[in-house]
Structure 1
Amino acid sequence: MHPVRIALLIAALGTAQAQAGVFDDDEARRQITDLKIKTEARFDQQAKGQLDLAGQIQRQAEEIARLRGQLETLNYELETAKKRQQDFYLDLDTRLRKFEAPGSANAAVDPAAGGNPVKADPAREGQEYEAALNQFKAAKYKEAAVAFAGFVQKYPDSSLAPNAQYWLGNAWYAQRDCKRAIEAQTLVTTKYADSPKAPDAWLAIATCQQELGNPAGAKRSLETVLGKYPNTPAAESAQQRLKKK
């Protein structure tokens, strides 16, 4: 072959190889660019998902904080309402006692005297009852329970005995002992069923039954108030509580 043709052939082959190399580099760069775009898109999607998740967590945290605030407010209002009700009953008890006979015509039983009847002393009964009530007002519930229990044992037929028995139940409830509270209030509803404290005792029993996880029993107690003591403040309270169930 002529030397010139050989040289031209070699040059042509070199050009073709160079072009192939350029094409290979372009294809590699294109693939790298495509991979980079896809990777960035995937990272952007993941980042967006993380941001959305963080937003959801933040909103949930805010909702939990809001609900916690509402719960704290409701608990405060409930405790305040209980305190107002307790203060109301204490005040009412004091007012009503001024219109009641200060003592009973029956003789009291003094345990210290071996259970023998002793002459009724209305003034002394009033003092002992007031002392027990003051213990309750001072939030000394354990001492109040002892004092009220002693009073009803010593003066079972006193006109103040139903009140003392009722506040004995409240003293147990204030100590979070619903079982003893129900026992004490049940005595009010049986032995002193005709006393003004009986319907309130039924309400107290219903409260304890509800807290002990016995809503059916609480409902029956509230219905008993409506049936036995209609047209009383306790019946009105019972009706309102039944509407909420």
Structure 2
Amino acid sequence: MKLRRLALPLASALVLATTAPALAQTPIDPLDARDSRRLDRMEQVLRELRAIVFQGRDSGKPVVVQPAETDYQLQELTRRVGDLEQSLTRVNGQLEVTSHDLAQARRDLDAVKADNKALAARAASLEQQQAQAPAAPSAMTMSSGAGLAGAPGEAAPIAAPVQTASEAFTQARQLMLSGDYSGAEAAFQDYVARYGESPRAPEARYWLGKTLTARSAYSEAATAYIGAIRGWPTTAWAPDAVVELARSLVALKKPTDACQTLDEFARRYPKAPPAVQNRAAATRTQAKCAA
């Protein structure tokens, strides 16, 4: 019995002695990446639970647990930032167009002020000359036969002041701005007839087309617009003149010509103001142009 009792512990010791090196030589596999991420998430959840418990203990108020969607929230914020950047880009483009139009309007206003100043000086000079002219003969002298036309002593009629090209253009433009389209039409027609070769003659034809369009004289308006855009000028009003020509052609039942005009508009004026491009698109739809 004693030998058996001693043999059992000895056998156990031998087994452990023989298996211990094998166990010692078996390496423990490290955690793979997935298990590592899982542990990180568990630690994050534990930290959040710990913060929630402390918050409830300190405040005594019920705690609303929000799901952790950090990646989704970051993606949403990134998308919103991208939308804001696109909006800012569009706003900057519109501001540039507005600044250009404002600068052009200021230049036009300065030109009008200069013309008004010249007109005021001319009017003052004429008034001074009229005040210094000799007085006309009295009615009694005229009735006595001494004041026949061309007779000595008769006051010569004052000739109307001769306008310069700039003065004539400014007067016609002011008539249009005041809403007198009939008067503006006559003034611009007179300007084109008298100063048809001047540098501002194309612009005068453009405004003449506007007055003709206002009274639905589309054939005459189309002729005026064609004269305005001859040579495809790069002025601020040129893109609008091309679109107005296309609209007149649509009104004249010439959609093919209107579509060709709009194709030239897109090719010649790709940076036209948004308002003009919108009217061009509407006219293209009205004319049923091919896409």
TM-score interval, normalised by the smaller of the two chains: 0.3 to 0.5
TM-score with structure 1 setting the length: 0.46
Higher-Rg structure is 2
When you count helix as a share of all residues, which structure comes out higher?
1
In the superposition, the TM-score normalised over structure 2's length comes to 0.40
* Greater relative contact order, per chain length (Cα 8 Å cut-off, separation 6+): 1
